[in-house]
Protein backbone atom coordinates (compact mmCIF):
# COMPACT_ATOMS: atom_id res chain seq x y z
CA UNK A 1 0.00 0.00 0.00
CA UNK A 2 1.23 3.48 -0.74
CA UNK A 3 0.97 6.49 1.51
CA UNK A 4 -1.93 7.83 -0.59
CA UNK A 5 -3.93 4.68 0.06
CA UNK A 6 -2.96 4.61 3.71
CA UNK A 7 -4.05 8.20 4.09
CA UNK A 8 -7.45 7.33 2.63
CA UNK A 9 -7.86 4.37 4.94
CA UNK A 10 -7.10 6.49 8.00
CA UNK A 11 -9.39 9.26 6.76
CA UNK A 12 -12.26 6.76 6.83
CA UNK A 13 -12.00 6.71 10.63
CA UNK A 14 -11.49 10.45 10.84
CA UNK A 15 -7.69 10.53 11.13
CA UNK A 16 -5.72 13.12 9.17
CA UNK A 17 -2.29 11.53 8.72
CA UNK A 18 -0.75 14.65 7.12
CA UNK A 19 -1.67 16.55 10.22
CA UNK A 20 -0.24 13.83 12.46
CA UNK A 21 3.06 14.05 10.60
CA UNK A 22 3.09 17.81 10.82
CA UNK A 23 2.51 17.75 14.58
CA UNK A 24 5.14 15.11 15.31
CA UNK A 25 7.78 16.94 13.27
CA UNK A 26 7.71 19.74 15.82
CA UNK A 27 7.44 17.77 19.07
CA UNK A 28 10.72 17.82 20.94
CA UNK A 29 12.01 14.62 22.51
CA UNK A 30 15.05 14.79 24.73
CA UNK A 31 17.94 12.63 23.59
CA UNK A 32 20.24 11.50 26.40
CA UNK A 33 23.95 11.93 25.75
CA UNK A 34 24.70 9.09 28.19
CA UNK A 35 23.77 6.21 25.86
CA UNK A 36 27.00 6.98 23.98
CA UNK A 37 29.46 6.12 26.74
CA UNK A 38 27.61 3.96 29.27
CA UNK A 39 26.81 6.87 31.63
CA UNK A 40 30.45 7.63 32.40
CA UNK A 41 31.03 11.27 31.43
CA UNK A 42 34.27 13.23 31.47
CA UNK A 43 34.84 14.39 35.03
CA UNK A 44 36.08 11.19 36.65
CA UNK A 45 37.82 7.92 35.86
CA UNK A 46 35.85 5.65 38.15
CA UNK A 47 32.98 3.30 37.39
CA UNK A 48 29.27 4.01 37.22
CA UNK A 49 27.79 3.80 40.71
CA UNK A 50 24.66 4.92 42.53
CA UNK A 51 22.42 1.93 42.05
CA UNK A 52 22.43 1.99 38.26
CA UNK A 53 24.37 -0.25 35.95
CA UNK A 54 25.29 -0.70 32.34
CA UNK A 55 26.12 -4.18 31.19
CA UNK A 56 28.09 -5.23 28.15
CA UNK A 57 31.38 -4.36 26.58
CA UNK A 58 30.65 -3.63 22.94
CA UNK A 59 33.66 -2.04 21.25
CA UNK A 60 33.88 1.58 20.16
CA UNK A 61 32.61 3.49 23.18
CA UNK A 62 33.09 7.27 23.00
CA UNK A 63 35.80 8.41 25.40
CA UNK A 64 36.16 12.09 24.62
CA UNK A 65 33.71 14.95 24.05
CA UNK A 66 34.61 15.00 20.37
CA UNK A 67 33.93 11.29 19.99
CA UNK A 68 30.65 11.52 21.85
CA UNK A 69 29.49 14.46 19.76
CA UNK A 70 30.52 12.73 16.55
CA UNK A 71 28.54 9.65 17.59
CA UNK A 72 25.56 11.75 18.55
CA UNK A 73 25.63 13.35 15.14
CA UNK A 74 25.66 10.00 13.42
CA UNK A 75 22.74 8.83 15.54
CA UNK A 76 20.76 12.03 15.05
CA UNK A 77 21.13 11.77 11.29
CA UNK A 78 19.19 8.50 11.42
CA UNK A 79 16.32 9.70 13.61
CA UNK A 80 13.28 11.53 12.30
CA UNK A 81 11.75 14.25 14.45
CA UNK A 82 12.74 17.11 16.67
CA UNK A 83 15.42 16.57 19.28
CA UNK A 84 16.45 18.26 22.46
CA UNK A 85 19.79 17.37 23.99
CA UNK A 86 19.95 15.87 27.48
CA UNK A 87 23.26 16.38 29.30
CA UNK A 88 24.42 15.19 32.71
CA UNK A 89 26.69 17.31 34.88
CA UNK A 90 29.45 14.67 34.72
CA UNK A 91 29.76 15.56 31.03
CA UNK A 92 31.42 18.88 31.89
CA UNK A 93 34.19 19.66 29.45
CA UNK A 94 37.36 21.00 31.05
CA UNK A 95 40.42 22.62 29.54
CA UNK A 96 43.53 20.44 29.31
CA UNK A 97 44.76 19.73 32.84
CA UNK A 98 41.83 21.54 34.44
CA UNK A 99 39.62 19.84 37.02
CA UNK A 100 36.66 21.39 38.78
CA UNK A 101 34.67 19.44 41.32
CA UNK A 102 30.92 19.17 40.98
CA UNK A 103 30.12 21.78 43.62
CA UNK A 104 32.04 24.37 41.62
CA UNK A 105 31.17 23.70 38.00
CA UNK A 106 30.17 26.68 35.91
CA UNK A 107 28.35 27.42 32.69
CA UNK A 108 31.65 27.76 30.86
CA UNK A 109 32.29 24.05 31.36
CA UNK A 110 29.30 23.36 29.16
CA UNK A 111 29.93 25.91 26.46
CA UNK A 112 30.87 23.21 23.95
CA UNK A 113 27.52 21.54 24.56
CA UNK A 114 25.77 24.84 23.99
CA UNK A 115 27.63 25.34 20.73
CA UNK A 116 26.75 21.80 19.70
CA UNK A 117 23.07 22.29 20.52
CA UNK A 118 22.78 25.71 18.93
CA UNK A 119 24.34 24.57 15.67
CA UNK A 120 21.71 21.86 15.51
CA UNK A 121 18.79 23.97 16.67
CA UNK A 122 18.30 22.00 19.82
CA UNK A 123 17.35 23.02 23.33
CA UNK A 124 19.17 21.41 26.26
CA UNK A 125 17.93 19.57 29.34
CA UNK A 126 20.19 19.05 32.30
CA UNK A 127 20.84 16.72 35.22
CA UNK A 128 22.97 17.19 38.28
CA UNK A 129 25.07 14.03 38.72
CA UNK A 130 24.65 12.71 42.25
CA UNK A 131 26.47 9.43 41.57
CA UNK A 132 29.85 8.05 40.44
CA UNK A 133 31.71 10.30 42.87
CA UNK A 134 33.68 9.83 46.09
CA UNK A 135 31.50 12.30 47.96
CA UNK A 136 28.63 9.82 47.82
CA UNK A 137 28.91 8.74 51.44
CA UNK A 138 27.43 5.41 52.50
CA UNK A 139 25.12 5.52 49.48
CA UNK A 140 23.76 8.92 50.47
CA UNK A 141 24.10 12.43 49.03
CA UNK A 142 21.36 15.00 49.64
CA UNK A 143 19.90 12.90 52.46
CA UNK A 144 23.18 12.15 54.22
CA UNK A 145 23.34 12.74 57.98
CA UNK A 146 26.81 14.15 57.36
CA UNK A 147 26.49 17.87 56.93
CA UNK A 148 29.59 18.32 54.80
CA UNK A 149 28.40 15.67 52.38
CA UNK A 150 24.97 17.22 52.15
CA UNK A 151 26.43 20.69 51.63
CA UNK A 152 28.65 19.50 48.81
CA UNK A 153 25.71 18.03 46.95
CA UNK A 154 23.46 21.01 47.63
CA UNK A 155 26.14 23.23 46.12
CA UNK A 156 26.24 20.89 43.15
CA UNK A 157 22.48 21.22 42.72
CA UNK A 158 22.68 24.99 42.89
CA UNK A 159 25.51 25.11 40.37
CA UNK A 160 23.31 23.00 38.08
CA UNK A 161 20.41 25.46 38.40
CA UNK A 162 22.74 28.22 37.23
CA UNK A 163 23.97 26.08 34.35
CA UNK A 164 20.39 25.18 33.42
CA UNK A 165 19.46 28.83 33.24
CA UNK A 166 22.50 29.46 31.07
CA UNK A 167 21.34 26.70 28.70
CA UNK A 168 17.86 28.19 28.50
CA UNK A 169 19.13 31.68 27.84
CA UNK A 170 21.60 30.54 25.21
CA UNK A 171 19.22 28.30 23.31
CA UNK A 172 16.01 30.28 23.92
CA UNK A 173 14.35 27.03 25.05
CA UNK A 174 13.46 26.22 28.69
CA UNK A 175 15.75 23.72 30.39
CA UNK A 176 14.25 20.80 32.30
CA UNK A 177 16.57 20.04 35.22
CA UNK A 178 16.04 16.65 36.77
CA UNK A 179 17.07 15.76 40.29
CA UNK A 180 17.64 12.06 40.77
CA UNK A 181 19.80 10.54 43.46
CA UNK A 182 20.40 6.90 44.22
CA UNK A 183 20.19 7.65 47.96
CA UNK A 184 19.10 4.60 49.86
CA UNK A 185 19.88 1.67 52.14
CA UNK A 186 20.96 -1.82 51.26
CA UNK A 187 19.37 -3.32 54.31
CA UNK A 188 16.56 -2.55 56.74
CA UNK A 189 17.11 0.97 58.03
CA UNK A 190 16.23 2.05 61.55
CA UNK A 191 15.03 5.42 60.36
CA UNK A 192 13.14 6.01 57.15
CA UNK A 193 11.82 9.43 58.05
CA UNK A 194 14.81 11.62 58.83
CA UNK A 195 16.68 10.82 55.61
CA UNK A 196 13.55 11.97 53.79
CA UNK A 197 13.30 15.15 55.81
CA UNK A 198 16.94 15.89 55.03
CA UNK A 199 16.35 15.08 51.37
CA UNK A 200 13.35 17.41 51.30
CA UNK A 201 15.26 20.25 52.92
CA UNK A 202 18.25 19.77 50.63
CA UNK A 203 16.13 19.93 47.50
CA UNK A 204 14.41 23.02 48.90
CA UNK A 205 17.81 24.62 49.33
CA UNK A 206 18.77 23.77 45.78
CA UNK A 207 15.54 25.27 44.48
CA UNK A 208 16.16 28.43 46.49
CA UNK A 209 18.95 29.22 44.06
CA UNK A 210 17.49 32.18 42.12
CA UNK A 211 16.15 31.18 38.73
CA UNK A 212 13.44 32.14 36.28
CA UNK A 213 10.74 29.42 36.46
CA UNK A 214 9.98 30.01 32.81
CA UNK A 215 13.55 29.09 31.92
CA UNK A 216 14.44 26.39 34.41
CA UNK A 217 12.02 23.56 35.13
CA UNK A 218 13.28 21.54 38.08
CA UNK A 219 11.96 17.98 38.45
CA UNK A 220 12.25 15.27 41.06
CA UNK A 221 12.53 11.68 39.86
CA UNK A 222 11.45 8.85 42.12
CA UNK A 223 12.59 5.25 42.18
CA UNK A 224 11.55 2.03 43.83
CA UNK A 225 15.01 0.56 44.45
CA UNK A 226 18.53 0.41 43.08
CA UNK A 227 21.32 -2.15 42.98
CA UNK A 228 22.97 -2.13 46.40
CA UNK A 229 20.16 -0.07 47.92
CA UNK A 230 17.38 -2.62 47.83
CA UNK A 231 15.79 -2.04 51.22
CA UNK A 232 14.90 1.63 51.05
CA UNK A 233 15.04 4.40 48.47
CA UNK A 234 14.88 7.86 49.99
CA UNK A 235 13.38 9.45 46.87
CA UNK A 236 10.47 7.03 46.67
CA UNK A 237 7.34 7.57 44.57
CA UNK A 238 5.36 9.09 47.41
CA UNK A 239 8.27 11.31 48.36
CA UNK A 240 8.79 12.72 44.88
CA UNK A 241 5.11 13.16 44.10
CA UNK A 242 4.42 14.91 47.37
CA UNK A 243 7.46 17.10 46.98
CA UNK A 244 6.43 18.22 43.50
CA UNK A 245 2.82 18.73 44.53
CA UNK A 246 3.82 21.00 47.40
CA UNK A 247 6.54 23.00 45.65
CA UNK A 248 5.32 25.27 42.95
CA UNK A 249 7.40 25.09 39.79
CA UNK A 250 8.81 21.66 40.62
CA UNK A 251 7.65 18.87 38.31
CA UNK A 252 7.28 15.20 39.13
CA UNK A 253 9.35 13.02 36.82
CA UNK A 254 8.26 9.44 36.24
CA UNK A 255 10.73 6.93 34.84
CA UNK A 256 8.85 3.87 33.64
CA UNK A 257 11.61 1.63 34.97
CA UNK A 258 11.10 2.86 38.50
CA UNK A 259 7.97 1.09 39.63
CA UNK A 260 6.93 -2.37 40.62
CA UNK A 261 6.84 -4.57 37.52
CA UNK A 262 3.07 -4.66 37.14
CA UNK A 263 2.57 -0.94 37.66
CA UNK A 264 2.30 1.03 34.43
CA UNK A 265 3.31 4.62 33.89
CA UNK A 266 0.74 4.92 31.10
CA UNK A 267 -1.94 4.85 33.78
CA UNK A 268 -0.03 7.27 36.00
CA UNK A 269 0.34 9.93 33.29
CA UNK A 270 -3.35 10.90 33.20
CA UNK A 271 -3.57 10.68 36.99
CA UNK A 272 -0.84 13.29 37.31
CA UNK A 273 -2.22 15.40 34.47
CA UNK A 274 -5.36 15.85 36.55
CA UNK A 275 -3.28 17.76 39.11
CA UNK A 276 -0.01 19.05 37.68
CA UNK A 277 0.22 21.72 35.00
CA UNK A 278 3.38 20.03 33.70
CA UNK A 279 5.08 16.68 34.25
CA UNK A 280 8.21 14.97 32.95
CA UNK A 281 8.98 11.46 31.79
CA UNK A 282 11.97 9.19 31.43
CA UNK A 283 11.20 6.66 28.78
CA UNK A 284 13.02 3.38 29.11
CA UNK A 285 12.39 -0.37 28.97
CA UNK A 286 12.64 -2.28 32.20
CA UNK A 287 12.99 -6.05 32.03
CA UNK A 288 12.18 -7.47 35.47
CA UNK A 289 13.89 -4.50 37.09
CA UNK A 290 15.14 -1.04 36.14
CA UNK A 291 17.38 -2.58 33.51
CA UNK A 292 17.22 0.37 31.10
CA UNK A 293 17.03 -1.72 27.96
CA UNK A 294 16.62 0.09 24.63
CA UNK A 295 13.09 1.43 24.13
CA UNK A 296 11.08 -0.64 21.64
CA UNK A 297 7.77 -0.10 19.89
CA UNK A 298 6.00 -2.30 22.40
CA UNK A 299 2.59 -2.16 24.03
CA UNK A 300 3.42 -0.09 27.09
CA UNK A 301 5.55 2.34 25.09
CA UNK A 302 2.58 2.89 22.78
CA UNK A 303 0.20 3.18 25.70
CA UNK A 304 2.32 5.95 27.26
CA UNK A 305 2.42 7.86 23.98
CA UNK A 306 -1.35 7.51 23.65
CA UNK A 307 -1.93 9.04 27.07
CA UNK A 308 0.13 12.09 26.17
CA UNK A 309 -1.43 12.56 22.75
CA UNK A 310 -5.07 11.83 23.42
CA UNK A 311 -5.13 14.10 26.45
CA UNK A 312 -3.73 16.95 24.35
CA UNK A 313 -0.81 17.08 26.73
CA UNK A 314 2.10 17.23 24.30
CA UNK A 315 2.96 20.69 25.62
CA UNK A 316 2.60 19.63 29.26
CA UNK A 317 4.72 16.49 29.25
CA UNK A 318 8.49 16.77 28.86
CA UNK A 319 9.59 13.56 27.18
CA UNK A 320 13.12 12.30 27.67
CA UNK A 321 14.72 8.99 26.78
CA UNK A 322 16.71 7.24 29.49
CA UNK A 323 18.28 3.90 28.67
CA UNK A 324 21.77 2.56 28.24
CA UNK A 325 22.92 -0.63 26.64
CA UNK A 326 26.63 -1.38 26.37
CA UNK A 327 26.15 -4.81 24.84
CA UNK A 328 25.20 -3.70 21.32
CA UNK A 329 26.35 -0.99 18.95
CA UNK A 330 25.66 2.14 21.00
CA UNK A 331 24.61 4.24 18.04
CA UNK A 332 22.16 1.64 16.90
CA UNK A 333 20.81 1.55 20.47
CA UNK A 334 20.30 5.30 20.42
CA UNK A 335 18.57 5.15 17.05
CA UNK A 336 16.27 2.21 17.79
CA UNK A 337 15.10 3.81 21.03
CA UNK A 338 14.47 7.21 19.54
CA UNK A 339 12.72 5.81 16.48
CA UNK A 340 10.58 3.58 18.67
CA UNK A 341 9.30 6.51 20.68
CA UNK A 342 8.68 8.43 17.44
CA UNK A 343 6.68 5.49 16.13
CA UNK A 344 4.67 5.35 19.35
CA UNK A 345 3.87 9.06 19.13
CA UNK A 346 2.99 8.87 15.45
CA UNK A 347 0.77 5.88 16.04
CA UNK A 348 -0.99 7.75 18.87
CA UNK A 349 -1.47 10.72 16.57
CA UNK A 350 -2.99 8.38 13.97
CA UNK A 351 -5.59 7.04 16.37
CA UNK A 352 -9.19 8.30 16.22
CA UNK A 353 -8.99 9.29 19.86
CA UNK A 354 -12.13 11.40 20.00
CA UNK A 355 -14.43 8.78 18.55
CA UNK A 356 -12.91 6.09 20.77
CA UNK A 357 -13.48 8.25 23.85
CA UNK A 358 -17.06 8.74 22.79
CA UNK A 359 -17.59 4.99 22.61
CA UNK A 360 -16.32 4.68 26.16
CA UNK A 361 -18.57 7.47 27.42
CA UNK A 362 -21.53 5.77 25.79
CA UNK A 363 -20.43 2.58 27.50
CA UNK A 364 -20.22 0.99 24.09
CA UNK A 365 -17.37 -1.24 25.16
CA UNK A 366 -18.17 -3.81 22.48
CA UNK A 367 -17.50 -1.45 19.61
CA UNK A 368 -14.59 0.11 21.48
CA UNK A 369 -12.84 -3.24 21.68
CA UNK A 370 -13.53 -4.01 18.03
CA UNK A 371 -12.26 -0.63 16.85
CA UNK A 372 -9.15 -0.64 19.04
CA UNK A 373 -8.26 -4.04 17.63
CA UNK A 374 -9.00 -3.02 14.01
CA UNK A 375 -6.81 0.05 14.20
CA UNK A 376 -3.85 -2.06 15.18
CA UNK A 377 -3.74 -3.43 11.64
CA UNK A 378 -4.15 -0.16 9.81
CA UNK A 379 -1.29 0.54 7.36
CA UNK A 380 0.80 2.40 9.87
CA UNK A 381 4.08 1.41 8.19
CA UNK A 382 3.20 3.58 5.20
CA UNK A 383 2.57 6.59 7.40
CA UNK A 384 5.86 5.98 9.16
CA UNK A 385 7.66 5.82 5.81
CA UNK A 386 6.08 9.07 4.74
CA UNK A 387 7.07 10.67 8.04
CA UNK A 388 10.69 9.60 7.61
CA UNK A 389 10.63 10.85 4.03
CA UNK A 390 9.31 14.26 5.13
CA UNK A 391 12.05 14.37 7.78
CA UNK A 392 14.70 13.38 5.24
CA UNK A 393 15.65 10.21 7.09
CA UNK A 394 15.95 6.62 5.86
CA UNK A 395 12.65 4.88 6.61
CA UNK A 396 13.61 1.24 6.21
CA UNK A 397 15.99 -0.92 8.18
CA UNK A 398 18.67 0.21 5.73
CA UNK A 399 19.67 2.87 8.23
CA UNK A 400 21.61 0.11 9.91
CA UNK A 401 23.99 -0.01 6.91
CA UNK A 402 25.07 3.49 7.84
CA UNK A 403 25.77 2.39 11.40
CA UNK A 404 27.73 -0.63 10.23
CA UNK A 405 29.82 1.54 7.97
CA UNK A 406 30.46 3.97 10.80
CA UNK A 407 31.39 1.13 13.10
CA UNK A 408 33.98 -0.09 10.65
CA UNK A 409 35.38 3.30 9.74
CA UNK A 410 35.25 5.04 13.10
CA UNK A 411 34.23 2.99 16.13
CA UNK A 412 36.53 -0.03 15.62
CA UNK A 413 39.49 2.25 15.09
CA UNK A 414 39.19 3.79 18.55
C1 LIG B 1 18.40 6.06 37.37
C2 LIG B 1 17.55 7.15 36.83
C3 LIG B 1 18.28 8.32 36.26
C4 LIG B 1 19.48 7.94 35.42
C5 LIG B 1 20.10 9.07 34.65
C6 LIG B 1 21.41 8.72 34.07
O7 LIG B 1 17.71 4.97 37.75
O8 LIG B 1 16.67 6.64 35.88
O9 LIG B 1 17.41 9.12 35.56
O10 LIG B 1 19.18 6.92 34.54
O11 LIG B 1 20.15 10.19 35.44
ZN1 LIG C 1 15.54 8.02 34.82
Mapped onto helix, strand or coil, the DSSP state of residue 92 is coil
% pLDDT > 90, the chain: 98
Q: Is the pLDDT of residue 1 over 80?
A: no
Pocket lined around ligand 1, Cβ cut-off 6 Å: 34, 39, 52, 127, 180, 221, 223, 255, 282, 290, 322
Q: Is the pLDDT of residue 226 over 80?
A: yes
Q: Is the pLDDT of residue 385 over 80?
A: yes
According to DSSP, residue 34 is labeled: G
Q: Is the pLDDT of residue 54 over 90?
A: yes
In this prediction, residue 330 carries a pLDDT of 98
Report the separation in Å between the CA atom of 285 and the middle of ligand 2, taken as the mean of its atom positions: 11
* Residues with a beta carbon under 5 angstroms from ion ligand 2: 255, 282, 322
Label residue 51 by pLDDT band (50, 70, 90): confident
Q: Is the pLDDT of residue 62 over 90?
A: yes
Q: Is 292 labeled as catalytic in the residue annotation?
A: yes
Q: Rounded distance, CA 178 to CA 262, Å?
A: 25
Mean pLDDT score, 126-141: 98
In this prediction, residue 360 carries a pLDDT of 98
Residue 38 CB-half CA count within 13 A: 21
Q: Rounded distance, CA 235 to CA 142, Å?
A: 10
In this prediction, residue 46 carries a pLDDT of 87
Mapped onto helix, strand or coil, the DSSP state of residue 38 is coil
Q: Rounded distance, CA 111 to CA 109, Å?
A: 6
Q: Rounded distance, CA 37 to CA 56, Å?
A: 12
Residue range 78-124, pLDDT digits in tens: 999 999 999 999 999 999 999 999 999 999 999 999 999 999 999 99
Beta bridge partners of 281: 254, 319
Report the separation in Å between the CA atom of 36 and the middle of ligand 1, taken as the mean of its atom positions: 14
Beta bridge partners of 127: 88
Q: How far is CA 319 from CA 31, 63, 210, in A?
A: 9, 27, 25
Domain boundaries, the chain: 18-352
Q: Which ranges of 350-379 does DSSP label H, i.e. alpha helix?
A: 353-361, 365-376
Instruction: Indicate the helix (H) or strand (E) that contains 285.
Output: strand 285-287
Residue range 161-179, pLDDT digits in tens: 999 999 999 999 999 999 9
Q: Rounded distance, CA 273 to CA 290, Å?
A: 24
Q: Rounded distance, CA 161 to CA 165, Å?
A: 6
pTM value > 0.95: yes
Residue nearest to atom 1 of ligand 1 (CA): 52
> What is 18-352's CATH number?
3.20.20.150
Amino acid sequence: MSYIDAKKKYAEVGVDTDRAIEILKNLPVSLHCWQGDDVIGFDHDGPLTGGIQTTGNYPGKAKTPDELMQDLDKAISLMPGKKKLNVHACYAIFEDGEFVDRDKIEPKHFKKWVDFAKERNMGIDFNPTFFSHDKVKDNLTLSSPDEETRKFWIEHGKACIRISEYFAKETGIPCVMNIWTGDGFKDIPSDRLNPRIRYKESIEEILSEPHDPNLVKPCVESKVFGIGVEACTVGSAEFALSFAALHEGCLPLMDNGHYHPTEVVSDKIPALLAFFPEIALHITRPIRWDSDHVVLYDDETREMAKEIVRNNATDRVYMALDYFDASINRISAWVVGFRSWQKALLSALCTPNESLKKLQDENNMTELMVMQEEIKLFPFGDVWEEYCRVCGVEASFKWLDEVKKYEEEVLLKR
